[in-house]
């Protein structure tokens, strides 16, 4: 046992020196949008790592070795929360998270705890599919939510790294000012989208539709998390005869077959929205994400 402990200490000394030379705050973001927000507010004081990309379904990520190594370095973990990462984040946190980045700690920020949640189920039953008791976790597509999380994030950064608190505060103020302006612009640009009916693949766009007052008239998944079946799609097709949709929306990580099939049958354009930072070429940051989303929706065919 003794040799084991001493070799652990020796190994630790060997490996820790180079990786910890810089004094940046390490932010582990479960999804790219939170990494992008951390860069906005942290500036060069933080090193933000995104655990997933826009091409990956954040519900289903493997607790892979690289993520264990990454969460070990984290001073702050920022995630959507509301059970979105329940299949992989707890393993990482238990295996190598610091005590300060566990649930309920200063170093763990779940966006869902700071925004008004939509679609909180009134009953919890797995027969209803992959339901999230806390509500729909895809909160990032309402920019007002981004602003709310930004406020909390700047508080957390200031607490964790008090020496740079003033930097975070001024970065935050700068960001919020630009963000408010951008929101007014997006809302003006999107006025024509009010009441526009859409079909979604998964309930990924609930917050976007709520923000722009668009209407969801159907989803390609029969139940959240259950892949589309041909029988269900036929049924959806029939229901769309009475209530036609303007778009069929999906994220970059969702397969195209169901939405292309429905698009062909109905003539409704199937479009991919970036969903998060990195979701298309224009979505290099949060501003780009919403610029691109609004431009795609307003520029798509069939909009008067």
List residues near other proteins by CB under 8 A.
1, 4, 8, 11-12, 15-16, 19-20, 52-53, 55-57, 59-66, 68-69, 72-73, 86-91, 93-99, 101-102, 112-117, 126, 129-130, 134-135, 144, 147-148, 151-152, 155, 176, 180, 184, 225-227, 253, 255
Residue 258 Cβ vs other proteins, minimum distance, rounded to whole Å:
11
Cross-strand partners of 207: none
DSSP code string of 176-192: HHHHHHHHHHHHHHTGG
Residue 152 Cβ vs other proteins, minimum distance, rounded to whole Å:
4
- When the beta carbons of 257 and 302 are compared against other proteins, the nearer one is 257
Cross-strand partners of 226: 223
> What six digits make up the tokens of 224?
């959240």
What letter would DSSP give residue 114? G
Residue 246 Cβ vs other proteins, minimum distance, rounded to whole Å:
27
DSSP-derived 3-state class of residue 296? helix
- When the beta carbons of 97 and 218 are compared against other proteins, the nearer one is 97
Q: Is 19 exposed, middle or buried (0-12, 13-18, 19+ CB in 10 A)?
A: exposed
In angstroms, how far is CA 3 from the centroid of its own chain? 45
- When the beta carbons of 20 and 213 are compared against other proteins, the nearer one is 20
Distances (CA, A) of 277 to 100, 140, 146, 150, 301: 27, 10, 12, 15, 24
Residue 225 Cβ vs other proteins, minimum distance, rounded to whole Å:
6
Residue 184 Cβ vs other proteins, minimum distance, rounded to whole Å:
8
- Distance (Å, whole) CA 157 – CA 169: 9
What letter would DSSP give residue 7? H
- What dihedral angle (degrees, nearest 10) is formed by the CA atoms of 48, 169, 156, 143? -70
Residue 280 Cβ vs other proteins, minimum distance, rounded to whole Å:
14
Residue 297 Cβ vs other proteins, minimum distance, rounded to whole Å:
23
């Amino acid at each position: 046992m003794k040799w084991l402990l001493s070799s652990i200490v020796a190994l630790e000394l060997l490996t820790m020196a180079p990786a910890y030379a810089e004094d940046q705050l390490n932010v582990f973001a479960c999804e790219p949008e939170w990494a992008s927000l951390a860069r906005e507010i942290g500036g060069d004081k933080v090193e933000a790592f995104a655990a997933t990309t826009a091409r990956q379904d954040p519900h289903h990520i493997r607790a892979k070795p690289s993520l264990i190594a990454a969460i070990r370095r984290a001073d702050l973990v920022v995630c959507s929360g509301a059970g979105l990462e329940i299949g992989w984040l707890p393993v990482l946190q238990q295996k190598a998270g610091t005590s300060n980045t566990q649930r309920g700690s200063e170093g763990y920020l779940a966006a869902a705890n700071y925004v008004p949640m939509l679609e909180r189920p009134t009953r919890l039953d797995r027969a209803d599919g992959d339901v999230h008791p806390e509500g729909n976790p895809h909160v990032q597509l309402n920019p007002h939510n981004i602003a709310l999380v930004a406020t909390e994030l700047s508080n957390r950064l200031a607490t964790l790294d008090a020496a740079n608190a003033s930097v975070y505060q001024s970065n935050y103020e700068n960001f919020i000012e630009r963000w408010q302006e951008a929101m007014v612009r997006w809302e003006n640009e999107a006025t024509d989208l009010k009441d526009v009916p859409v079909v979604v693949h998964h309930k990924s766009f609930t917050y976007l539709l709520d923000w722009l007052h668009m209407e969801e008239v159907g989803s390609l998944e029969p139940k959240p998390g259950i892949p589309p079946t041909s029988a269900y799609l036929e049924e959806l097709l029939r229901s769309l005869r009475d209530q036609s949709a303007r778009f069929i929306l999906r994220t970059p990580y969702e397969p195209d077959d169901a939405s292309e099939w429905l698009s062909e049958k109905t003539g409704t354009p199937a479009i991919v929205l970036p969903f998060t930072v990195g979701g298309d070429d224009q979505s290099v940051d949060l501003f780009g994400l919403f610029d691109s989303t609004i431009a795609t929706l307003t520029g798509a065919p069939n909009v008067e």
